[in-house]
């Protein structure tokens, strides 16, 4: 600043100085541009955390990374046996969802306390949440929101921790853990819009729990293929596909109402007739940003007989062309199965194709067999050896139990794209070419598809699910394997997905979308790709119910106002 000016405009300048000083003081006292970070002077003292803990009846958990006994650092003494055991169960989702902080997606764990690294590798809280509130009632959540606002601390909602995009963790964050909201009630619901059976579930209920209960009532709900994901959390709020999605629509389409706590710590009911805008946003607009859902009420449907088949073949003894031609016949020939209300979950790599399973809920074995015949004939004609199994099940539940392999955590990095039905019908060769290009660029990549038609129920009230879902025939995921001890290679794979592999799919689906729960967290233009034409309205609803951006999650609605710095600090951009 120049002293001549200073002499010339004393009044204006002192005003400016005064304002600047004011902001400096406020900034120093209460960091305005960034969330307060551990180590900052604004970070609460131990005494303040203790006081907070007392107001929530001792439910505050200070994070101790679950792999701490694999390292020399701080938290716990090194214990070889415990560490070996932990490594042997690391792939099971339970290892992580029973923890208040553990992160399944390895990229977002950032090797903070990685059991597969050497004993002398650091073990830090790192990208885990710093503290978590093991919430069991409305007041726990209300007080946690208030405390995080008072101290300007990053707030994260954690349910099971399955999220692929790192949305249920955050460096320097305080977590609200919803896992123990386990109530399940089967009810008769009646409103202007729906009369029939429904389930009301607490935010922490997982697929395997709800499936048991509805089956006992001879009912089904639209749920995921993975038994351990949360039903009311990121899954249903983000869309939610599964083997019943061609029959009834997406999980988000089944939602009748939510009980939700907003950033202003009010408890609201959101439905088609109450706080309709919030209801619309929460049904499909993604978890972690509009408020904390306490409970969700969703439609339940009568049980139905189900036919299911699985099929596996490899490239052993056949040419690459023969192998990919067989895969093409299956994948691009799924239209009639979708039209019959079926869903196919399949996986294609350079050397193997498998569908586990392909299902027609409400259909018969004969019907499904006829639809499988073209691929089986091709396999026979081309001398491809395969394993095949088909069965009629008296209920969807039994089909799900027998045909659905148990899911581990996903130790892969991924990106995704919704492939439109029109492209499948008009240009099957174009789709298969793109898949082959991807496998040529990265021969260890995997392509995982859920082939489905979520628009067969024309009367369903439209919600904020990405419109691209409505035209889709395949939710496609591209994955690259993770190596716990080769971080540089993992980072290179991540860039490969964003810059090389996904563009092969973007090229053939210009202006298209992706499923926000199964996508690349570094997706350029994510607002358009994940939310399509719904984005602006979603952002307005976010501003209305969370004007201070109390909730943040990477790629969630409203997150464009924030940037996470290299050290994890979250600042407004
Ligand atoms: C092995 C595996 C299999 C999968 N299979 C399927 C599948 O078949 N179909 C499918 O559609 N998806 C599937 N997914 C993706 C799944 O839908 C997402 O991972 C989803 O985010 C899981 O939700 P969650 O609540 O269990 O997880 P979390 O990671 O705990 O949370 C996910 C997001 O939801 C937010 N959230 C959680 N609870 C609440 C709440 N009460 N209120 C507000 N926000 C909340 C979190 O803040 C976060 O942003 C699968 C994922 C994995 C890892
Ligand atoms: C405010 O944030 C900055 C980083 O942007 C940090 O260096 C500083 O310590 C913080 N101030 C206080 C008072 O915590
Ligand atoms: C909170 O209080 C409970 C009960 O007194 C205690 O067990 C727990 O360790 C406390 N949490 C923290 C982070 O201090
Ligand atoms: C699943 O995880 C468990 C525990 O880590 C592991 O033993 C098992 O091999 C994994 N299964 C698959 C199919 O990867
Ligand atoms: C969380 O709370 C539930 C319900 O009170 C309790 O059963 C569980 O042990 C708690 N978990 C932790 C890690 O404190
Ligand atoms: C198909 O499912 C049956 C029944 O669960 C199982 O025994 C078989 O191994 C599966 N086959 C393939 C190819 O996945
Ligand atoms: C399949 O095998 C039969 C018998 O061995 C052979 O005659 C036929 O040419 C083979 N077909 C192909 C496509 O390889
Ligand atoms: C889904 O099925 C309906 C009803 O059969 C049909 O009109 C629609 O075109 C199909 N959509 C997709 C994307 O397959
Ligand atoms: C993982 O990377 C290490 C090098 O850091 C290598 O030795 C190892 O073979 C890799 N593992 C796999 C399964 O590729
Ligand atoms: C991830 O780990 C690296 C290496 O330890 C560290 O420099 C970086 O700050 C961490 N990132 C985050 C977001 O915490």
Complete domains list, the chain, with CATH: 46-177 (no CATH), 184-303+549-572 (3.30.465.10), 306-531 (3.40.462.20)
pLDDT, tens digit (0-9, with 9 covering 90-100), for 339-363: 999 999 999 999 999 999 999 999 9
For residues 492 and 330, give the distance between their C-alpha atoms in angstroms, rounded to a whole number: 32
Q: Considering Cα of 454, then 539, then 513, then 447, what sign does the dihedral take?
A: negative
pLDDT, tens digit (0-9, with 9 covering 90-100), for 263-288: 999 999 999 999 999 999 999 999 99
Average pLDDT rounded to a whole number, residues 401-416: 94
Kindly give the pairing relationship between strand 255-261 and strand 267-271: antiparallel
For residues 305 and 360, give the distance between their C-alpha atoms in angstroms, rounded to a whole number: 9
pLDDT, tens digit (0-9, with 9 covering 90-100), for 186-208: 999 999 999 999 999 999 999 99
Give the nearest ligand 2 atom to 31 CA.
Answer: 1
The phi and psi torsions of 240 (rounded to 5 degrees) equal 80, 95
Cα–ligand 8 centroid distance for 471 (angstroms): 8
Residue 307: strand pairing partners: 360, 392
Ligand 5, atom 11: nearest CA belongs to which residue?
134
Q: What is the pLDDT of residue 23?
A: 46
For residues 117 and 67, give the distance between their C-alpha atoms in angstroms, rounded to a whole number: 10
For 307-329, letters b (16+ CB in 10 Å) and e give bbbbbebbbeebeeebbbbbbbb
Cα–ligand 9 centroid distance for 484 (angstroms): 8
User: Of the bound ligands, which one is closest to the alpha carbon of residue 56?
Assistant: 3
Q: Which of 315, 381, 383 should be mutated for ligand 7, with most atoms under 8 A from CB?
A: 383
For residues 498 and 414, give the distance between their C-alpha atoms in angstroms, rounded to a whole number: 9
Conformational region of residue 194, where left means phi above 0, alpha means psi within -120 to 50, and beta covers everything else: beta
Give the nearest ligand 6 atom to 311 CA.
Answer: 13
- Residue-averaged pLDDT of the chain: 94
For residues 387 and 393, give the distance between their C-alpha atoms in angstroms, rounded to a whole number: 20
**CA torsion angle 245 247 251 256 (round to 10):** 170
This prediction has a pTM of: 0.95
pLDDT, tens digit (0-9, with 9 covering 90-100), for 20-77: 444 444 444 555 699 999 999 999 999 999 999 999 999 999 999 999 999 997 798 9
Q: Which of 483, 488, 491 should be mutated for ligand 9, with most atoms under 8 A from CB?
A: 483
More confident residue, 6 or 140: 140
For residues 515 and 52, give the distance between their C-alpha atoms in angstroms, rounded to a whole number: 38
Evaluate whether 497 touches 417 at the Cβ level (below 8 Å): no
């Amino acid at each position: 600043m120049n002293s001549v000016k200073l002499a010339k405009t004393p009044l204006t300048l002192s005003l400016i100085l005064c304002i600047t000083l004011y902001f400096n003081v406020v900034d120093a006292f209460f960091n305005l541009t960034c969330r307060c970070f551990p180590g900052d002077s604004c970070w609460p003292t131990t005494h303040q955390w203790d006081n907070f803990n007392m107001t929530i009846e001792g439910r505050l958990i200070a994070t101790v990374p679950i792999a701490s006994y694999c390292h020399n650092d701080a938290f716990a003494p090194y214990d070889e046996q415990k560490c070996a055991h932990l490594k042997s169960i690391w792939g099971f989702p339970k290892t992580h969802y029973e923890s208040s902080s553990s992160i399944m997606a390895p990229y977002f764990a950032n090797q903070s306390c990685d059991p597969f690294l050497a004993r002398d590798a650091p073990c830090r809280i790192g990208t885990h949440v710093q503290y978590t509130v093991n919430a069991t009632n409305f007041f726990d959540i209300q007080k946690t929101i208030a405390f995080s606002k008072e101290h300007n601390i990053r707030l994260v909602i954690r349910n099971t921790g399955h999220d692929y995009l790192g949305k249920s963790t955050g460096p320097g964050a305080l977590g609200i853990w919803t896992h123990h909201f386990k109530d399940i009630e089967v009810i008769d619901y009646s409103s202007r819009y729906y009369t029939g059976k429904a389930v009301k579930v607490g935010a922490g209920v997982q697929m395997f729990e709800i499936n048991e209960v509805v089956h006992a009532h001879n009912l089904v709900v639209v749920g995921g293929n993975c038994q351990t994901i949360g039903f009311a959390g990121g899954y249903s709020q983000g869309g939610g596909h599964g083997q019943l999605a061609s029959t009834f629509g997406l999980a988000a389409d089944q939602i009748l109402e939510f009980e939700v706590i907003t950033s202003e710590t009010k408890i609201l009911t959101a439905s088609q007739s109450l706080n309709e805008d919030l209801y619309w946003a929460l049904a499909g607009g993604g978890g972690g940003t509009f408020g904390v859902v306490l409970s969700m009420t969703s439609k339940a449907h009568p049980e139905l007989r189900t036919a299911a088949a699985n099929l596996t073949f490899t490239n052993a003894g056949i040419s690459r062309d023969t192998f990919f031609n067989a895969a093409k016949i299956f994948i691009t020939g799924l239209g009639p199965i979708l039209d019959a209300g079926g869903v196919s979950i399949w996986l294609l790599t350079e050397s193997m194709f498998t569908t586990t399973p392909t299902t027609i809920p409400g259909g018969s074995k004969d019907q499904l067999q006829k639809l499988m015949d073209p691929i089986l004939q091709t396999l026979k004609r081309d001398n491809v050896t395969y394993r095949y199994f088909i069965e009629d099940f008296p209920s969807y539940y039994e089909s799900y139990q027998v045909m659905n392999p148990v899911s581990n955590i996903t130790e892969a990095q991924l990106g995704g794209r919704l492939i439109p039905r029109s492209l499948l019908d008009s240009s099957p060769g174009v789709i298969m070419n793109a898949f082959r290009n991807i496998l040529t660029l990265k021969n260890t990549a995997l392509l995982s598809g859920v082939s489905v038609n979520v628009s067969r129920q024309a009367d369903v009230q439209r919600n904020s699910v990405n419109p691209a879902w409505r035209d889709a025939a395949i939710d496609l995921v591209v994955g690259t394997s993770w190596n716990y001890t080769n971080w540089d290679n993992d980072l290179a794979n991540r860039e490969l997905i964003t810059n090389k592999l996904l563009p092969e799919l973007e090229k053939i689906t210009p202006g298209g979308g992706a499923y926000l729960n199964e996508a690349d967290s570094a997706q350029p233009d994510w607002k358009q790709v994940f939310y399509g034409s719904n984005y602006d309205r979603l952002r307005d609803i976010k501003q209305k119910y969370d004007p201070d951006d109390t909730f943040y999650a990477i790629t969630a609605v409203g997150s464009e106002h924030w940037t996470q710095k290299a050290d994890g600090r979250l600042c407004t951009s």
